[in-house]
Amino acid sequence: MIKVLIAIPLLIGAIGTVLLVVPQEKDAKQVYLDKCSVCHGEDGKGQTAKGKKLKVKDVRSPEIQKMTDAEMLTVVLKGKGQDMDAFEKDLGADMCKKITAYMRGLAKS
């Protein structure tokens, strides 16, 4: 009986952990396509209707290429200007970091 009493909270804890961890582990590409590609484009070129309207820059452009990872990350975390939202609250700093790296990678493909 005592074992069962110990096992139940452990089980609940384990399920809770899984539920908390899973959204975090959604991969960066998926989140990018979901949250960013409307403006930045699946390929990072910003050639979407919204991207063109807001004059989103191509990740391959010299301006973006010369930004450091930290500068890009700050934009993702804190937002910039009127149209680039801050994503830190929504996605968490870790995911923002992964997406920034993913975006950077788009420039190389």
Binding pattern for the stretch 37-76 against ligand HEC, x by CB under 6 A and - elsewhere = -xxx---------x---x-xx------x-------x--xx
> By CB under 6 A, is residue 81 in contact with ligand HEC?
yes
CB of 19 to ligand HEC, least distance (A): 22
Considering only residues 8, 14, 80, 101, which one is a binding residue for ligand HEC as defined by CB under 6 A?
80
CB of 21 to ligand HEC, least distance (A): 20
- Going from the C-alpha of 85 to that of each of 7, 15, 75, 108, the distances in angstroms are 44, 32, 8, 25
- Enumerate binding residues for ligand HEC (CB under 6 A): 35-36, 38-40, 50, 54, 56-57, 64, 72, 75-76, 80-81, 83-84, 87, 99, 103
